[in-house]
Amino acid sequence: MLSSRPPMGFNTWNTFGENISDAMIRETADAMVEKGLLDVGYRYLVIDDCWSKRQRDPESGKIVPEPVKFPNGMKAVSDYVHGRGLLFGMYSCAGVRTCADYPGSFDHEFLDAETFAEYGADFLKYDFCNRPAAADGPLLYKRISAALRASGREILLSACNWGCDEVEKWIRSVGAHMYRSTGDINDSFASFRDIFMSQRDKFAYSAPGCFNDIDMLTVGMYANGNVGAGGCTDVEYKTQFAIWCMFACPLMLGCDIRKLDGFCLDLVKNKYLIRINQDEEARTPMCVRSEHSGLANVFVRVLSDNEYAVMFLNLTDHDRRCWFTLEDMGITASSGLCLKATDVFTGEDAGTHAEFWQMNLPAHDCAVYLCRAVKA
Ligand code: GAL
């Protein structure tokens, strides 16, 4: 199965926008390997919008790579990426033009899927701008899905219709492997808070084979790049990454990997959070406590191997006491059980918790534990 677990990788858009090139893709591939990101699961290197010439080739009708950005063509870039042990991703759009006004795949779906297969693509992000007014949105995703399936390569379909047409209800049937459910993220706390809140009650549609994609991460951007906005603090990046992991979202890094180091590099390589994100059962977290208009929460996720992930999440702008009772997650007082916890951020033993578990959390912060229910 192409997406039995949430896909992990890197996408050019958040930082680079139209400033993409053969050299920066190769450097990014090198950095993904050298910084240990491939080792922990980040496999896809995806080139987003702005990679092609403004017009199709008049004779073949094909989309053509922009020769100044990609002087060696796209197959050479793909070969390099594959040579580093990574997988290669491309971008197109269901409309006649992409969002940044390059050729889109409308009415060229089968030709373009063949072209991407010739490049050796393993992944296609498929956007939703500039479609003819009469075109049926779901039908356009059916077409590209069929075209990819006919291309002779296994190509993961990353649908990006921003949540239109109640996407979660039909996109799995169409054959997509992940689906953007929201508008575009920018590098600010408010942006990822609002994106998460818009999907908080829709994650039950996300499961092995097709995952809810709440956009590329901004972790590590610190206000630099195409969707830079004001940037986030380390605490906010920690919370962003923990949310994406807890809710089994695709982990597509959006910062400049070549410059990623220190706190954020350690964060995106956190083995406990990745273990939660990639859990084979991909169960939706239970909300066991929700206060302050749903911004202060405790979530419990049932994991494989009789483990639980517990997340205390404070998305309000004030310090909060977050709490829940074990009864809320189904562990009765009479069971004699308590939760034995490991703090995922420190890897340290976080003690045992019976009946009632509470903590004070600063604004925008979270705490996440891997737990087992054991006899007290
Ligand atoms: C948007 C999409 C972004 C990015 C951009 C490229 O529609 O949501 O993630 O792909 O287009 O122009």
For the CA of 216, the nearest atom of ligand 1? 9
Span 48-66, pLDDT tens digits: 999 999 999 999 999 999 9
Sheet with strand 44-46: strands edge to edge: 211-213, 178-180, 156-160, 123-127, 87-93, 44-46, 8-11, 251-253
Ligand 1 centroid vs 333 CA: distance in angstroms? 50
What pLDDT does 301 receive?
98
Q: Ligand 1: which of 101, 184, 186, 227 to mutate, judged by most atoms within 8 Å of the beta carbon?
A: 184
Comparing C-alpha atoms, which of 215, 211, 166, 222 is closest to residue 191? 215
144: Cβ contacts below 8 Å, ≥ 6 apart:
92, 94, 105, 109, 113, 124, 126, 157
Catalytic residue check, 127: yes
Comparing C-alpha atoms, which of 121, 100, 255 is closest to residue 187? 255
For the CA of 99, the nearest atom of ligand 1? 12
Span 325-362, pLDDT tens digits: 999 999 999 999 999 999 999 999 999 999 999 999 99
Asked whether the predicted pLDDT for residue 82 surpasses 90, the reply is yes
Residue nearest atom 11 of ligand 1, based on CA coordinates: 99
Residue nearest atom 9 of ligand 1, based on CA coordinates: 184
pLDDT above 90 coverage of the chain, percent: 99
Residue nearest atom 12 of ligand 1, based on CA coordinates: 99
Secondary-structure breakdown of the chain: helix, strand, coil percentages, each rounded to the nearest 5? 30, 25, 45
pLDDT above 70 coverage of the chain, percent: 100
What pLDDT does 247 receive?
98
Q: Ligand 1: which of 15, 99, 227 to mutate, judged by most atoms within 8 Å of the beta carbon?
A: 99
Q: Read off the pLDDT band of 370 (50, 70, 90).
A: very high
Asked whether the predicted pLDDT for residue 101 surpasses 90, the reply is yes
Find the residues whose C-beta lies inside 6 A of ligand 1. 13, 48-49, 98-100, 127, 129, 160, 184
Tokens for 144?
């590209």
Ligand 1 centroid vs 289 CA: distance in angstroms? 34
Domains, the chain, ordered by start: 8-277 (3.20.20.70), 286-375 (2.60.40.1180)
Q: Which residue shows structure tokens 């004070």? A: 360
Asked whether the predicted pLDDT for residue 192 surpasses 90, the reply is yes
What pLDDT does 231 receive?
98
The Cα–Cα gap between 167 and 141 comes to 10
Tokens for 327?
């009864």
Residue nearest atom 4 of ligand 1, based on CA coordinates: 13
For the CA of 125, the nearest atom of ligand 1? 10
Span 127-147, pLDDT tens digits: 999 999 999 999 999 999 999
Span 251-292, pLDDT tens digits: 999 999 999 999 999 999 999 999 999 999 999 999 999 999
Span 106-124, pLDDT tens digits: 999 999 999 999 999 999 9
Ligand 1 centroid vs 214 CA: distance in angstroms? 12
Give the distance, in angstroms, between the CA of residue 127 and the centroid of all CA atoms in the same chain. Answer: 15
> Pairing between strand 156-160 and 178-180?
parallel
Ligand 1 centroid vs 127 CA: distance in angstroms? 7
Instruction: Work out the mean pLDDT of the chain and round it to a whole number.
Output: 98
What pLDDT does 186 receive?
98
CA quadruple 52, 131, 211, 260: dihedral, nearest 10: 40
The Cα–Cα gap between 178 and 249 comes to 9
The Cα–Cα gap between 281 and 279 comes to 6
**Active-site residue, selected from the candidate residues 122, 127, 213, 256:** 127
28 in Cβ contact with 258 (< 8 Å): yes
Question: Exposure of 224 by Cβ count < 10 A (0-12 exposed, 13-18 middle, 19+ buried)?
Answer: middle
What pLDDT does 1 receive?
84
Asked whether the predicted pLDDT for residue 67 surpasses 90, the reply is yes
Comparing C-alpha atoms, which of 277, 366, 360, 273 is closest to residue 315? 366
202 in Cβ contact with 168 (< 8 Å): yes
**Active-site residue, selected from the candidate residues 30, 165, 184, 328:** 184
Tokens for 161?
């219709």
DSSP code per residue over 45-92: EE--SS-B-SS--TTT----B-TTT-TTHHHHHHHHHHHTT-EEEEEE
Span 359-369, pLDDT tens digits: 999 999 999 99
What pLDDT does 298 receive?
98
Residue nearest atom 6 of ligand 1, based on CA coordinates: 49
Q: Ligand 1: which of 98, 160, 214 to mutate, judged by most atoms within 8 Å of the beta carbon?
A: 160
Ligand 1 centroid vs 13 CA: distance in angstroms? 7
Asked whether the predicted pLDDT for residue 295 surpasses 90, the reply is yes
For the CA of 215, the nearest atom of ligand 1? 9
